[in-house]
Copies of this chain bind each other. A is one copy, B any other.
Amino acid sequence: MRFSFTVKELIELLGEASVDGPDTAIINGIASLDEAGPGDLTFLGNRKYKRAVPRTDGSAVLLPENYDGHPKPGQVFLRVANPSLALALVCEDIERRNRPCLEPEVHPSAVIDDSAEIGADVHIGPLCVVGAGARIGSGSILEGQVWIGRQAEIGCHCRIMPHVTIGDECRLGDRVRLHSGVVVGSDGYGYETVDGVHRKVPQIGIVTIGDDVEIGANTTIDRARFNATSIGTGTKIDNLVQVAHNVRIGRHCLFVSQSGVSGSATLEDNVVVGGQTGIVGHVTVGEGSMIGGKSAVHRDIPAGSKVRGVPVRPMLEDYRLAAFYERLPDLFKRVANIEELLESKG
């Protein structure tokens, strides 16, 4: 996206920045500290990069309030409570001014069943399908090539990207964002094995998704065996995540890419799941728990836990065990030395 604004406009946008330097430069790019040059806005969002601040060539630098040091000539330091959040505000403003204007319309190539109910100010892009009895809430956008199943319900101001599939009867709240390739309402993986043959257990439930949920590209959410697989308000799911049938995910949870949750697991509110982590079926992960990446959750986790590992343990314990593991060669040598000593003594 192309944009251009003065530092002065930037300061007005941020509201409460403490300004150290001139406010006249024109900003037309955003870059990391090491890559920023004249005309770029940059920021210290992660302490790890603190030493890059004095050498950055960016014209304006968003910094935490307690940052010591002074700008180069012509450069301006903007101290704020949360530089990352401040940058997000700037990006929101840029997006607002640049976002393609999708007028309310139903593209003539879309295939909309006569019995579907389309709310006010809805944009349905090219080659979408909206099934019988489906309902699309006002202000929602289906970019194009989207499948909305029969009797599915989409809330207001949702944004559904190309190649998303919403299965029959599934329900989305308001302001839900689904990225390309998301599948909501595929059949759960359920079979009864009789005489060596896996007989399908029909999956007659649905998926319900709360308000303000965002789901990343190619993530899959299975419909329930009965009742509903549910995802709570405010939860954000990254790309390529698997959510199995009858899983219940609370509010404001985070799932990093390529994690997976097996059937009938319950995740309470504010749970964070690291990338490539797996959670087995029928367990409960308590409110506010954090599960590290590449972990395996095989049992219930009490509220507020910080765990990681295969299987998960309290984080400090897992690090401690890993440190002992690294010292195994030394331990084997020490035991051999002891044995030798004892033998020599008879």
Contact = CB atoms under 8 A, between A and B. Distances in A.
A290 interface: no
Contact of A339 (B196, B226, B334): B334
A46 B111 contact: no
Interface stretch (A10-18, A58-66, A69-77, A238-246): A238-246
A236 B91 contact: no
A278 interface: yes
A78 interface: no
A147 B163 contact: yes
B189 A226 contact: no
Contacts of A24: none
Interface in A37-55: 46, 48
A190 to B, nearest CB: 8
Given A85-B192, A95-B202, A181 B111 contact: no
Contacts of A190: 88
Contacts of A296: 293-294
A214 interface: yes
A56 interface: no
A252 interface: yes
A100 B252 contact: no
Interface string A305-317: 0000011000000
A135 interface: no
B332 A94 contact: no
Interface in A145-187: 145, 147, 150, 161-163, 165, 167-169, 177, 179-181, 183, 186-187
Contacts of A201: 84, 87-88, 91
Nearest to A261: B257
Given A1-B169, A88-B202, A127-B145, 14 more contacts: A30-B204, A46-B282, A48-B282, A87-B201, A88-B190, A88-B200, A91-B201, A127-B129, A180-B186, A181-B220, A217-B222, A218-B220, A294-B296, A327-B332
Interface of A: 1, 29-32, 35, 46, 48, 82, 84-85, 87-88, 91-92, 94-95, 98, 100, 107, 109, 111, 125-127, 129, 132, 143-145, 147, 150, 161-163, 165, 167-169, 177, 179-181, 183, 186-187, 189-192, 194, 196-204, 214, 216-218, 220, 222, 225-227, 234, 236, 238-240, 242, 244, 252, 254, 256-258, 260, 262, 264, 270, 275-276, 278, 280, 282, 293-294, 296, 310-311, 320-322, 324-329, 331-332, 334-335, 338-339, 341-342
